[in-house]
Amino acid sequence: MNSMRPRREPFTGSELAAALFAMTLLLGGPWARSAAAETMFGVVCTSLLTFDSTDPGTIRRAIQVFPENSRCLGFIDVDPMSGSVYASWYYPCHMLCPPSPYGVVRIDPESGETTEVWSSAADTPYAFAGDFDVDRTTGEVRGGGYPFGYNLHIDVSLGVMIADTAFSPFREVAALAYAPGGEAYVLAWQSGPPYGLDLLRLGGAGGVPPASSGELTMIASIPDIQNPYAVGFDISPAGVAYVSTPPGPTSVSTADSPRAGRKTGEGGPTRQLYRLDLATGAATALGGIPTDGEGAVGIAVAGARDAIAIPALERGGVAALAVLLAAAGAWLLAHRRTT
């Protein structure tokens, strides 16, 4: 005898909605972003370091880029299109050794091989003053300049550094990074006590107007990172921002310049890594990066470790992904009702 059992629909509307909602949160939810281990790069003078954002105290790999006692790596960023690392270099003088040439190279993170991108000339009137970033749209390498106030970028195809519209209002920019959505953010030194950092947007939301406009909009002060001499700054493809600070203590000067008389933390064993909230300026300490007190504080984020890239999320399109999932669910529901 055949027993007749009631036929159950593959899923109900509420079950489908819950599944789609959960999928969206898992792919793009804020806790998913903050908890994922992301591959990061740092530098120790002649070497490129690789570590995880969730365990910065463990160096996964160190590749020597320059011979010892030659050039030092400074600030760095990852080209999101090619995966190569851009890095500034300088000669390891304890004081400026005029003329003080410097430049930018492209590094293969697997082999350590370098390609010269740009180098200064004797009459170059400006230089990057801090951590720079690669514009995901144009491929330009952009950063705040020295003398302070300059808004600079390197045209990689031409190998030239160009000064765009100066920062307005005037700020001494310590570091710059692009978010996946196209907007640029900068960290700027405060001109008075407590001589900490401010977080500002450069250009408009979504990159309109672009960073080349020089327009700065104040977002928040960063109370948890006080008195840095120099900082590393980058934003991951998932939209998570990171800041690194020099090893050892820093000291505050009462001079007009917030960096006059400060120590760079010589002799300290680690740099500190923080996760930065781009909406509030709140910083969460993630741990120290062991560097033996050497090198600059430049950092770069390659992205989630061993993750499959999802273009919608790479461009900050979580909302678009949710719409697509909802549309697919609606189609499935309508199709089920007609069959």
Task: Confirm if 52 and 304 have CB atoms less than 8 A apart.
Answer: no
Task: Give the whole-angstrom CA distance, residue 234 versus residue 230.
Answer: 14
**What does the DSSP assignment read for 259-293?**
TTT----TT-SEEEEEEE-TTT--EEEEEEEE-TT
Task: Confirm if 215 and 168 have CB atoms less than 8 A apart.
Answer: yes
Q: What is the pLDDT of residues 68-126, one digit of tens each?
A: 888 989 899 999 888 999 999 988 764 445 456 789 999 999 999 999 999 887 567 88
Give the per-residue pLDDT at 269: 57
Tokens 């959505």 locate to 181
15-19, 104-108, 231-235, range with the lowest pLDDT: 15-19
Domain ranges of the chain: 14-36+307-339, 38-306
Query: Which CATH code is given to the segment(s) 38-306?
Result: 2.120.10
Q: What is the pLDDT of residues 147-186, one digit of tens each?
A: 889 999 999 999 999 999 999 999 999 999 999 999 999 9
**What does the DSSP assignment read for 30-44?**
HHHHHHS-EEEEEEE
Q: In a 10 Å sphere around its CB, with 0-12 CB exposed, 13-18 middle and 19+ buried, how is residue 94 labelled?
A: exposed
Task: Give the whole-angstrom CA distance, residue 186 versus residue 321.
Answer: 28
What SS3 class is residue 137? coil
| 210, pLDDT greater than 60 | yes
pTM here is: 0.76
Whole-Å CA distances, 167 to 77, 190, 216? 21, 15, 7
